[in-house]
Amino acid sequence: MAEFPSIIRYLTGITTTGTPHLGNYVGSVRPSVAASRRDDVQSFYFLADYHALIKCDEPARIQRSTLEIAATWLACGLDPERVTFYRQSDIPEIPELTWLLTCVSAKGMLNRAHAYKAAVDKNVARGEDPDGEVSAGLFMYPVLMAADIVMFNAHKVPVGRDQAQHLEMTRDIAQRFNHLYGEHFTLPEAEIDDAVALLPGLDGRKMSKSYDNTIPLFTPRAQLQKLIAGIVTDSRAPGEPKDTEGSALFQIYQAFASAQETEALRTAFADGIAWGDAKQLLFERIDREIGPLRERYESLMADPAGIERTLLAGAEKARALSRPFMGRLRQAVGLRNLAEGAATKTVKGAKASKGSSKIGFKQYRERDGLFYFKLLDERGSTLLQSIGFKSPQDAGQIIGALQQSPDDFVNSFANQLEPIDNETALAAAKVLKTLSQAAAES
């Protein structure tokens, strides 16, 4: 049997509390846009405005930042037709899922979250109440982040190394939920690029809005040159060899340059290039990449209504997945319609093999009014899960077609099924063949 292609789901979000800077670009936007163009990747990009409320109480700033970040993604080449691009607050299933996950999250685990511990340590050092001015939002941040990720069962989440702990917490929370209620969530993996995860800022520390040391991504050309001229360097004079190790200027250049260009600057450092000349090289290299994107960004910023339409369209695409999934999760935890009995029924014509009473298709209707089906193995575990259909006839047609194409169903029906891994695809193909043979013999 041929190996099935594996579709990998990537999910990336940026908190809407400030203007996008070079660190956001090289650490998140650029690699994620590149990943979104791969045929084996299904990409989700969102504006984390719920997260913004944890650290910002300025409504106008959050609105402006949301606009700037959305325009940045689009200017940098994100194709909203190819990916799922949405605003976090447009997906009401996310806060609902956050509560379900809150109910299975250990407080002791949340006590160990870096952001919460840092706030507590800061208060203790001042001799104040450890939890003074620490909001429940800050404490629950990892659970909201977990909901963002497992809502769409992301396989990979590009993050900086400082966010890796939150991915581990997401895995812990998802495992606990799966243990209690069945296998619903994929356990995500952090994808960390150490070369760009901690891009230095103007003062040499990590580029961060918190340190006020950022270089705005689409700042005007003259301002970009001025900011780069202000990057902190040492006092070595022209002609004196300079170290690349620990040099913020060199690290920023390396994040934009090719390997050949990087080696050329490394040689120039050893030969004693003047700091002013090195900064000019950095400015020219950044502007060569960012300059062409700046005009597109400015055009997008001038049309906020257009960006709003794009985000709402993306939210509908996202909710086509989150609505039915949330319905299944509500069913799993017991939030059910009391007037209904068994939620599923066996589809006619899908006979089970001897000794396998659970094998086959189950077709059902969710609260969103759409019709779904899933394929179960002999243990009752779900192998395939469909998207929603407007009528049971539409769902039934796909079920029939699946049994006609058991060897190539992943390629043929990718748009009608939720993504699965290779191992599950192989198991599903085996069950489909069994059902197909049983139907032929009847």
Residues acting as catalytic residues: 122, 206, 209
The answer to whether residues 45 and 78 touch, using CB atoms and an 8 Å cutoff, is: yes
State the Cα–Cα distance between residues 33 and 83, nearest whole angstrom: 10
Pairing mode of beta strands 382-385, 360-365: unpaired
CB 94 within 8 A of CB 148: yes
- Give dist(CA 85, CA 10) in Å, integer: 12
93-to-24, 99, 181, 370, 381 alpha-carbon distances in Å: 27, 10, 18, 17, 24
Interatomic CA distance for residues 159 and 167, integer angstroms:
9
Q: 438: Cβ–Cβ under 8 A, 6 or more apart, which residues?
A: 351, 352, 353
- The H helix count followed by the E strand count for the chain is 17, 9
Residue 272 zone, left/alpha/beta (φ > 0; ψ -120 to 50; rest) = left
Rounded Cα gap, residues 171 and 150, in angstroms: 9
DSSP string, 210-238: GGT---BTT--HHHHHHHHHT-----PPT
